[in-house]
Structure 1
Amino acid sequence: MLSKKIISLVTLLFCTTLLAQTSFKKAVVTGKVIDKTTSKPMEFVTLSAYKSDTNKLITGTATDGNGNFSLEVTNGIYNIKFEYMGYKTNTLNQQNIAGDTNLGNILLEEDAKEIEVVEIRAEKTTVEIKLDKKVYNLGKDLMVKGGTVSDVLDNIPSVTVDVEGTISLRGNENVKVLIDGKPSNAISINDALKMLPADAVDKVEVITNPSARYDAEGGAGILNIVLKKGKIKGFNGTLIATTGIPDNHGINGTLNYKTGKINLFTIQGYTYKSNPGFSDVETKYLNPDNSANRYIDENRDNSRINKGYNGGFGLDWFIDKSTTWTNGFNYRKNKGTNEEDVDYYNYDANRIYTFYRNRLNLEKQLEDNIEFNSNFIKNFKKSGHKLTADVSISESKNFSNSVIYDNSTLSSTTTIDDTKNNQKQKRTLIQTDYVFPINDVFQLEAGYRGNFLNQNTDYAVLNNGVINTSFTNVLEYIEHVNALYTQMGIKVNKLSMLYGLRFEDSNIEINQLTSSQFKTKKYTNFFPSAFFTYELGDDTNLSLNYSKRINRPRGRQINPFSTYSSNINLFRGNPDLNPSLTDAVDLGFLKKMGKITLSTSVYYNYTKNSAQHVRYVEGLNENGIPITTMSFVNIGEENRSGFEFTLNYIPYKWWKLNSNLNVFRTETKGNFSYTYVDNTNTSITKTQNLDNTASSWFTRLNSKITFPNKIDWQTNVTYNGSQRTAQGMVKGIFAMNLAFSKDIMKDKATISLNVNDVFNSRIRRMQTYIPGQIDSDTAMQWRVRQITLSFTYRFNKQKNEKEKMPKREDDGGGEF
């Protein structure tokens, strides 16, 4: 009886599938587009096919080098639109496509009026909302002129960058940052983003809940920074010169040469930056009964200078109209100094001054990054059917040396310490993806990714020429991750579904060569994902997404030896730190209402083995001063929920507004045990309870007004709300940026002025309270108010030469 039911069910499914396939019979529409005046074929003309009854966009393509086009649609009645910058749009209405159809020659005529007012630059900032990500095309964003990629990210909705350069997505720091879809070859991604010029960025992809196609790293999601590459035929380029206060000088340029078969492109730049900053820490050390034991005020002034070169070369080879092979080489070199002057004022329990110490740290740093990328794309005849392969090989070196002078009123002797921090990193990335649309209903995708990382850190401290074994160490970190994934996309009427499963095999070695601590961690994980989007109308949709993510500890998080910038406030990694696993759910709603676009989402993340910052007193130094240590530990779990609201509003053609609001709640549960050594050298085990529930919020408002005579004025206001932690509180931060620009020289050039942090208020203020140990207040400013003037000049980008690139059917995978 059961077998008969199974046979009946299989037969029913087969008949249903057969019926669906026959009801979506395909037809190929062909033809050729010709310039009406010159009778020459036109390349890169955009074609769009709309259903005549609903005016809904069904598919699109572009003409090849000979003006020919081929468009695959299901049988039906369509309006087919032909568009090209500077030409009148030609629309063929009510085309009854009942089989393969040749439309013949399509003539396009120049629009004299349009040519006079056409934008010659792709400067309009736009947002593309896709099934599993949002794409922010930067366009003419005045705020980032002369800035860095960190400034770019700090202007993207859902993203915040704090005063130390730490990036958060929806208030969560566990975010994976990619450059052109690959991990950065830099040893520190935050440092790399503060050195890479903003003018090199084309767009930013924000993936709050990545599908199985993407690397599973990053519990908060993924930020993919896509760099610029030339798109316009012929020889053209852009030159940008900047100057600013404090010192912010640079010159950056892009060159591009494109023919029918190749596209040569390069970006070159040099910057000189000065970044003064400070931090103040006022600490009250407590007795077990919470009475005062002593006070120390630590005042730190930083004067950073960085000289950087960033260069890259690339070649696109259009082997044929469906095959492209791209090779690129990038080199970045940065040379910097940092003068760090630290004053320590010591007081007794009654806050009576006892003695003073000064610690002067003179640091020199040199960083080299080399990277080679190769990308192969094969588009098959069927729309959306393609194969891609990528290889990336990179090597980074970061050499840092410091001389530290230590003086105290308790001694007439000056101690001289030398530190060395040499880091090397090699990374190889191999990836291939295959997308196969079975029909209009089903799409299959599969791929492989191999990420192989080797990082070596050689750290040494010498006290008056004698090696300090408490700090000197060599750490080797090896990470090999092999991943396979598959996805099935299904589209039924207004419902789109994407089911995926990713498998990752992780093999990690943490070798502390100095202390002969060798740890190997091997684990395999499955990462499912599911995405549902329902079109409530032409301008409204509802989405529900789920994915599983991982955070692997690495670098300074796992090195058990301390840093030496301060000998009473230490940072020490934890080699026993385990990866954290996160389950993420997101419910989103998008509505377009004329001049208003509204995007909202409710999200929830549950994390096991969540890695948290902790701060504790581990003992006393030789002068009896408590030593405070910061480290990472795995706690039991973390629950994070929130609501996000994004609004774009264009009240007038000359005024654009957009705002972003994120409200979230974080609940952590867990304990932390550590060893305290008292003044009798007795070890005591202590435990801290890290249970904590905290709510916070941040908001951003951006306004852009265009005045007559092509003058733009942009204002950006942000506020990050205060947030309680298990050991204290982080206070709120308000900041405002202003920018102005004016097009000159017949629109071939633009002059811009921007002020970053107008009120010089971007200061991170924290309170830390650990009963029986410490009660401290910290204020830190990584960068003071910055005023920047920039000049941009574009050459060989004539108005009648603007060309549109063909639409990529699926540049992110897993979409329809």
Structure 2
Amino acid sequence: MKKITILLVFLSITLYAQKPKTKRNIPKVRLTGKIIETKSKQPLEYATVVLTHIKNKRVTGGVTDVKGNFDIQIPKGMYAIKIEFIGFKTKSLPNKELTQNVNLGTITLNEDAETLEEVEIIAEKSTVEIRLDKKIYNVGKDMTVKGGNASDVLDNVPSVNVDVAGAVSLRGNENVRILIDGKPSALVGLNGTDALRNLPADAIEKVEVITSPSARYDAEGTAGILNIILRKGKITGFNGSVNLTVGNPDMLRISPNLNFRTKKLNIFSNLGYSYRKGPGNSQSFFTNFESDGTVKDYRNEDRVFDRKNNNYNGSLGLEYYISQNSSITGTYFYRKSKGEDIATNITKNFDINRDLISTENRIENENEDGKDNQFSINYTNNFDGNGKKLIMDFQYGDSKEIEDSPVTINDVLSEQNSQITESKDKLFQIDYILPIGENSQVELGHKTTLQDLYSDFKVRLRQPDGSFVESSSSNAIDFKQNIYAFYAQYGNKINKFSYLLGLRTEITDIDLKVLTTNQFSDKNYTEWFPTVNLGYELNDSDNLTLGYSRRLRRPRHWFLNPFESRSSATNVFRGNPDINPTFTSSFDLGYTTKIRKLTLNSSIYYQYSTDIMQGVSIIEERIINGTPTNVFVRQPVNLSDQSRYGFELTTNYSPAKWAKLSATFNYFKFKTDAFSYVYTAPNGSKITTNLEEVNNSSWFTRFNARITLPAKIQWQTRIMFRGPQETAQSERKGMFVANLSFSKDIFKEKASLVLNASDLFNTRKRETTTYNGDRANPSNIIDGSFQWRERQISLSFTYRFNQKKKRERPQRGNDNGGGGEFGG
């Protein structure tokens, strides 16, 4: 009821302000004063002063500014006066005859505990916002991410899954584009999965899951886009929060977020330091066969990962409000990381009777120093505030990583490996939105993305005399990728039907030069990407959406670079400079309904991809330590076409105020055509790998339960199971993961304490079986198990000052790429 009253007040104020002037001058007086919170004495911005004329019952009024002050001009007369603010008890003042200017002084408002609880419940129910082309998830209240990082946040979002190595997938597809505040970011850096682990969860406000991107978004990412929106200070004055997290295995994270806001300025910052040990392990058991199918011998590789990482990151932003409807924002981001990763690989070779023949102890000690800088400027002009908008972005970033990786074999320093990678990235983007009439709009835009990357990888091998000589495996590349994009789209709403139609073109220019061999690869192509998004509101609680988009997956520089990894002498990865992009056409039909306390989001989707990129394992015979040895080389190639379709269901149910339940289920089926891959080995021989047709399915499900215990302790449990899956060369077993946390607000809700157990049963492992050659008669079978990190127990303390946990003022300015009701 209070929300309706406030809406009517604002409507009345707007209508009164827009009433045409008449020649008759009506005597007016000024009513001024200040509204503050009783306990903290903090001013309340956007508090409402409601004035009702006693005789004609006309309602007018005004709202307070950033300092809590109000200044209202009204005609003389007798008025009833009420002061309202969401979450506070309404205060009614005695009727007052206003015949001259009056200052009501300082008025205090008290918090309304029942209303605050009501506001919190409403916020829980609106954690998912449905747009034509995306779903927006507010992740702020998910306890299992407190004290965690961005990877933990994404792993809690429906449709999204993060595997044991940190790779992010959307609906089971790992080719997903990750953006920060609507743009590529240095937060992702040269190695996206590592960077996401270094971004604190507390810095994230919401995640947009865009499975049917409109023409405004990059065409990159065949699965769709994940847009991470970072927090900005929305409360006036100086405010912020500090988070301290400790854990086992060793973890320490300090992440203060400080903000200062005035009427014209908003200064915001996200800072962080983290130290973390990341123990992990893997095992690969090789069964090698003769050409007649009999067992030849066996090999077992046990690897133990001992990782230590120190990471410093900080961003500082200044938002200046040029006018009521325009602003300019400058942001600087800096990150420095230092890691020490020790990978111990114990290889044991067995004969046909499984008797031990030899043992090799290989230790790779990788020391890595990384540094990222990024500068960005955003200009947003909302013109008259009626939807017409101009947004301009410029971004420059540079990244540098230096790796030193000596390899010791059986206590003898055998290799000295190093790599230097430098990247310079530039971005310019302009978007213009023009409303046409009341329910339609046109949008035009351009984006230029320039990347210039240099990588120098050196391998020095020990010689019999103890000296080190550079190997032919050394490699240096110069990689340039320039993308020029243009788009236009039109959206309209006719009664309950909405549509958004768009067309995007991207001109891609990729140059790869292998400096060590003087090889040159040049790929240039121009492609068109149409998008269609439709929506129909059946009633207030039911709606349908239908989306179509064409997208692509470009090969990254490490997919193109033909150098080999060196963590194992017999199991390596090598890029492929001849690989081409993958193109995907996607269809998505969604249905959302709300039945009392139950909300259901469901969708059926279909994707058709051509020239899919997938890793294929081949075998090369090499001389290692004087002995002919089979070396397994994994290399990305373009396979044949693939069809994928699936069904997704997400539910939210609140049976009582003390219980919040949610679940998601995703089933998908895919078919990959048969394929023969012919590879030319270094000795000139042709090696053919036949891949059979794959017609398989998989699924994953996630369940969340949040229960309020006595003493207002929040207990949350999250369980996830990912079903088994089969690819062209491998089979992956299912995986079960459970997380558990307890949270308690203390110090009158100014602070929170969270105990979190991630991977409670230590079962987050990827177990696979890989077949090299024909499955019916393979040359070898590899049974593998991989655990990126082990169970993590953490205790997190967050303290907030000069801000409330449940209440924030409306945001103004840049909407990070939102497109109004069309969601563009």
Task: Name the TM-score, length of structure 1 as normaliser.
Answer: 0.87
Structure 1 CA distance, aligned partners of 2:130 and 2:472? 52
Q: Following superposition of structure 1 onto structure 2, how do residues 752-771 of structure 1 map, counting pairs within 5 Å?
A: 752-770=754-772, 771=777
Call closer, same or farther: CA 1:380–1:45 in 2, change over 3 Å.
farther
For the aligned residue pairs, the C-alpha RMSD in angstroms reads 3.0
Aligned to 1:642: 646
Aligned residue in 1 for 2:76? none
Structure 2 letter corresponding to 1:179: I
Indicate if the aligned counterparts of 1:118 and 1:799 stay in contact, CA closer than 8 A: no
Q: Look up the SS of the partner of 1:152 in the other structure.
A: helix
Whole-angstrom distance in 2 between the partners of 1:689 and 1:800: 55
Runs (5+) with no aligned partner, structure 1:
1-26, 48-60, 70-80, 92-104, 408-412
Contact 1:457–1:475 (Cα < 8 Å) also in 2: yes
Q: Distance in 2 between matches of 1:39 and 1:352?
A: 84
1:667 aligns with 2:671: yes
What is residue 692 of structure 1 aligned with on the other side?
A: 694
1:801, distance to aligned residue in structure 2 (A) = 9.0
Residue matched to 1:29: 15
Aligned-pair CA distance for 1:620: 3.3
Report the alpha carbon displacement of residue 477 of structure 1 after superposing the two structures with TM: 1.2
Aligned to 1:76: none
- Equivalent residue, structure 2, for 1:447: 445
Instruction: Call closer, same or farther: CA 1:553–1:62 in 2, change over 3 Å.
Output: farther
Determine which of 335, 350, 353 is the counterpart of 1:350.
Answer: 353
Kindly indicate whether the alpha-carbon contact (under 8 Å) linking 1:119 and 1:799 is maintained by their aligned counterparts in 2: no
Q: Is the 8 A contact 1:618 1:676 kept in 2?
A: no
Q: How much has 1:309 moved relative to structure 2? A: 0.6
Q: Give the 3-state SS of the residue equivalent to 2:803 in structure 1.
A: coil
Task: Give the superposition deviation at 1:89.
Answer: 7.5
Of 769, 788, 791, the match for 1:785: 791
Q: Deviations over 1:510-549 (max 9, x none)?
A: 1111111111111001100001100000111011110000
Measure how far apart 1:684 and its partner are.
3.2
Q: Distance in 2 between matches of 1:402 and 1:640?
A: 40
Deviation readout 1:163-183 (Å, 9 max, x if unpaired): 001110000011001111111
**Deviations for 1:398-456, whole angstroms, at most 9, x for unmatched residues?**
1110111112xxxxx93521110111111111111111110123211111111111111
- Aligned residue number for residue 134 of structure 2: 133
Give the residue type in structure 1 aligned to 2:760: V
Q: Which residues of 2 match residues 710-721 of structure 1 at below 5 A? A: 710-721=712-723
Cα separation, 1, equivalents of 2:562 and 2:338: 28
Amino acid at match of 1:398: E
Contact 1:618 1:675 in 2 (8 A): no
Of 687, 701, 704 in structure 1, the residue corresponding to residue 703 of structure 2 is 701
Structure 1 residues 114 and 589, CA, compared in 2 at 3 Å: closer, same or farther?
Answer: same
2:303 and 2:378 map into 1 onto residues whose CA distance is: 47
The answer on whether the counterparts of 2:278 and 2:789 sit within 8 Å (CA) in structure 1 is yes
The aligned runs of 1:300-339 (5 Å cut-off) are 300-339=303-342
Note the alpha carbon deviations across 1:482-506, whole angstroms, 9 max, x for none. Answer: 1010010011111001100001111
Q: 1:672–1:688: 8 Å Cα contact kept in structure 2?
A: yes
Structure 1 residues 382 and 263: CA distance shift in structure 2, 3 A:
closer
Q: Which amino acid aligns with 2:697?
A: S
Question: Residue 773 of structure 1 aligns to a residue in which SS?
Answer: strand
Task: Give the 3-state SS of the residue equivalent to 2:438 in structure 1.
Answer: coil
Q: CA deviation at 1:657?
A: 0.5
- Name the amino acid aligned to 1:269: G
2 CA distance for matches of 1:382 and 1:113? 32
Write the distance in 2 (CA, Å) between the matches of 1:29 and 1:177.
43
Note closer, same or farther for the CA distance 1:382–1:362 as it changes in structure 2 (3 Å cut): closer
Q: Secondary structure at the match of 1:419?
A: strand
> Does structure 1 retain, via aligned residues, the 8 Å contact 2:178–2:184?
yes
Q: CA deviation at 1:137?
A: 1.2
In the other structure, the counterpart of 1:255 is: 258
Paired residue secondary structure (1:625)? strand
- Asked if the contact 1:607–1:639 (Cα under 8 Å) also holds between the matched residues in 2, the reply is yes
Give unmatched runs, 5+ long, in structure 2. Answer: 1-12, 19-29, 37-42, 50-61, 73-81, 93-102
3-state DSSP of counterpart to 1:212: coil
Query: Is the contact made by 1:377 and 1:389 (CA closer than 8 Å) also made in structure 2?
Result: yes
In 2, the alpha carbon distance for the partners of 1:497 and 1:808 equals 24
Supply the distance in 2 between the matched residues of 1:527 and 1:677 (Cα, whole angstroms).
38
> How far apart, CA to CA, are the structure 1 residues paired with 2:266 and 2:358?
67
SS in structure 1 at match of 2:152: helix
The residue number in structure 2 matching 1:192 is 195
**Is the CA contact 2:391–2:431 (under 8 Å) kept in the aligned structure 1?**
yes
Task: Please list, as runs of the form range in 1=range in 2, the aligned pairs for 1:523-672 lying within 5 A after superposition.
Answer: 523-622=525-624, 623-672=627-676
Give 1:184 shift: 2.9
Code of the residue aligned with 1:334 in structure 2: it is: S
The one-letter amino acid of 1:647's match is T
What SS does the aligned partner of 2:195 have? Answer: helix
Displacement after TM superposition at 1:687 (Å) = 3.2
Change (3 A) 1:448 1:289: same
Is residue 734 of structure 1 aligned with residue 733 of structure 2? no
Indicate if the aligned counterparts of 2:373 and 2:399 stay in contact, CA closer than 8 A: yes
Determine the C-alpha separation between the residues in 2 that align with 1:436 and 1:85.
Answer: 33
Counterparts of 1:321 and 1:353 in 2: how far apart (Å)? 77
Letter in 2 for 1:761: T
Q: Which amino acid letter does the alignment assign opposite residue 504 of structure 1?
A: E
**2:628 is matched by which residue type in structure 1?**
G
Distance change (3 Å), C-alpha of 1:605 and 1:799: closer
Query: In the superposition, relative to structure 1, how do residues 217 and 810 fare at CA in structure 2: closer, same or farther (>3 Å)?
Result: closer
More displaced 10-residue stretch of structure 1: 800-809 or 591-600: 800-809
> Match of 1:431?
429
1:535 partner amino acid: E
Instruction: Give the drift of 1:468.
Output: 4.0
CA contact (8 A) 2:232 2:268 kept: yes
Equivalent position amino acid for 1:330 in 2:
F
Q: Give the Cα–Cα distance (whole angstroms) in 2 for the partners of residues 709 and 800 of structure 1.
A: 18
Residues 254, 116 of structure 1: alpha-carbon distance in 2 compared, 3 angstrom cutoff: farther
Deviation at 1:266, TM superposition (A): 1.3
Partner of 2:25: none
Deviates more, 1:198-207 or 1:730-739: 198-207
- After TM superposition, list the pairs within 5 Å mapping 1:104-143 onto structure 2: 112=110, 114=112, 118=116, 126-143=127-144
Distance 1:89 1:285, change over 3 A: farther
The 10-residue stretch of structure 1 (327-336 or 346-355) with the greater mean CA deviation from structure 2 = 346-355
TM-score of the aligned structures, taking structure 2 as reference length: 0.86
What is the CA-CA distance between 1:28 and the residue it aligns to? Answer: 6.3
User: What secondary structure does 1:759 align onto?
Assistant: coil
In structure 2, C-alpha distance between the alignment counterparts of 1:30 and 1:774, rounded to whole Å: 81
Aligned partner letter, 2:443 = E
**Structure 2 Cα separation of the partners of residues 341 and 545 of structure 1:** 48
Task: Work out the percentage of aligned pairs sharing the same amino acid.
Answer: 42
1:799 deviation in Å?
Answer: 8.8
**C-alpha contact (below 8 Å) 1:431/1:450 kept by paired residues:** yes
Q: How many residues align?
A: 746
SS at 1:641's partner residue?
strand
Alignment of 1:73-84 (within 5 A): 84=85
* Partner Cα distance (2:647, 2:804) in 1: 46
How far did 1:88 drift?
Answer: 5.5
Q: Is 2:359 the partner of 1:363?
A: no
CA offset at residue 568 of structure 1?
A: 0.5
Q: Deviations over 1:76-113 (max 9, x none)?
A: xxxxx99733446799xxxxxxxxxxxxx9x9997635
CA pair 374-482 structure 1, distance change in 2 beyond 3 A: same
Tell me the CA shift for residue 610 of structure 1.
0.8
Which AA in structure 1 matches 2:652?
A: N
CA distance in 1: counterparts of 2:106 and 2:602, whole angstroms: 41
| Structure 1 residue aligned with 2:242 | 239
CA distance in 1, matches of 2:237, 2:667: 48
Alignment of 1:32-51 (within 5 A): 38=34, 43-44=45-46
After TM superposition, list the pairs within 5 Å mapping 1:160-559 onto structure 2.
Answer: 160-185=161-186, 186-381=189-384, 383-407=386-410, 414-464=412-462, 465-559=467-561
Amino acid in the other structure paired with 1:445: E
Q: What SS does structure 2 have at the residue aligned with 1:143?
A: helix
